[in-house]
């Protein structure tokens, strides 16, 4: 049986959709007005989707994807310039931790742009599969910020040399480079077929085997998130609240 429900507040348009079928829970980001930026509502919707998946005994695997080509543009700069990022930074750390610690494997499907905080979600996922046209950029440095809250997951996947280049230049890199640098599991011309193959293989695993295998594989990353997550959230909030970053963010928003 397929169940599909929007995840949002009753008085708001749905930003996240949830469906479950054949042992797979699909969580779809659908906030095109801000390119799936990590707003309070969207992050809440992601948490709610993960809750549903983990509470459903028939679900063995979680698939994260976007309704459009853009997967995620990073932090919601409109909220950051208006309300600050103290709570938002903490929630993004918590979201990454939730993905890493979930007892069910999380697969992410990409075929378009992924920026800044969105790369943290990709890095937190167990398996990341992208089409050749997907692009990535850690753009925080250009706004007077640092890739702080996502650093613990992103640099767990990427080598230090690649990580230094990516965060210091803010350059855009393609899927093949992301795969070479360790951010992606696979780049596939037919991304849907590749995702379906992985989902089918994961579906053959026993729930206990999947849960305990994730625990073993992610132990070091989870320890790092617990040890330094609060520190990185505080740094991120401080940088977002600085006059320099606020000026840069407002200038960026004025060009959009």
* φ, ψ at 152 (rounded to 5°): -70, -35
pLDDT in the model for residue 161: 95
pLDDT (mean) for 91-120: 98
pLDDT in the model for residue 148: 97
| pTM confidence score | 0.93
pLDDT in the model for residue 2: 44
What's the pLDDT band for 111 if we cut at 50, 70, 90? very high
Which one of 59-63, 76-80, 244-248 scores highest in mean pLDDT?
59-63
Tell whether the model's pLDDT for residue 85 goes beyond 50: yes
Helix (H, G, I), strand (E, B) or coil at 11: coil
pLDDT in the model for residue 11: 65
- pLDDT digits 0-9 by tens, 43-70: 999 999 999 999 999 999 999 999 999 9
What's the pLDDT band for 256 if we cut at 50, 70, 90? low
pLDDT (mean) for 94-110: 98
- pLDDT digits 0-9 by tens, 170-179: 999 999 999 9
pLDDT (mean) for 105-112: 98
pLDDT in the model for residue 10: 54
How many Cβ atoms from other residues are within 10 Å of residue 22's Cβ? 13
37-46, 74-83, 232-241: the lowest-pLDDT one: 74-83
pLDDT in the model for residue 56: 98
H or E stretch at 134: none
| Average pLDDT value for the chain | 94
Cβ-defined contacts of 97-100 (< 8 Å, 24+): 97/124, 97/222, 97/225, 97/226, 97/229, 98/47, 98/50, 99/50, 99/124, 99/125, 100/124, 100/153, 100/218, 100/221, 100/222, 100/225
| CATH assignment, 3-192+205-255 | 3.90.226.10
């Amino acid at each position: 049986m397929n169940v599909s429900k929007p995840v949002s507040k009753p008085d708001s348009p749905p930003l996240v959709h949830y469906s479950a079928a054949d042992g797979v829970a699909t969580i779809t980001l659908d906030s095109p007005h801000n390119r799936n930026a990590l707003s309070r509502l969207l992050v809440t919707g992601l948490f709610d989707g993960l809750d549903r998946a983990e509470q459903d005994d028939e679900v063995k695997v979680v698939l994260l994807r976007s309704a459009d080509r853009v997967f995620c543009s990073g932090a919601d700069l409109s909220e950051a310039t208006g309300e600050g990022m103290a709570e938002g930074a903490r929630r993004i750390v918590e979201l990454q931790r939730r993905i890493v610690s979930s007892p069910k494997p999380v697969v992410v499907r990409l075929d378009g742009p992924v920026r800044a905080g969105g790369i943290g979600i990709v890095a937190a996922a167990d398996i990341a599969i992208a089409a050749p046209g997907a692009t990535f950029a850690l753009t925080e440095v250009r706004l007077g910020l640092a890739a702080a809250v996502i650093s613990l997951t992103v640099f767990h996947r990427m080598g230090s040399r690649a990580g230094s280049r990516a965060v210091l230049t803010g350059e855009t890199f393609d899927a093949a480079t992301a795969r070479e640098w360790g951010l992606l599991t696979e780049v596939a011309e037919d991304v849907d077929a590749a995702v379906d193959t992985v989902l089918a293989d994961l579906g053959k695993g026993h729930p206990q085997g999947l849960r305990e295998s994730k625990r073993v594989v992610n132990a070091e990353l989870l320890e790092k998130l617990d040890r330094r997550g609060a520190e990185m959230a505080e740094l991120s909030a401080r940088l977002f609240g600085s006059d320099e970053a606020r000026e840069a963010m407002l200038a960026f928003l004025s060009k959009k």
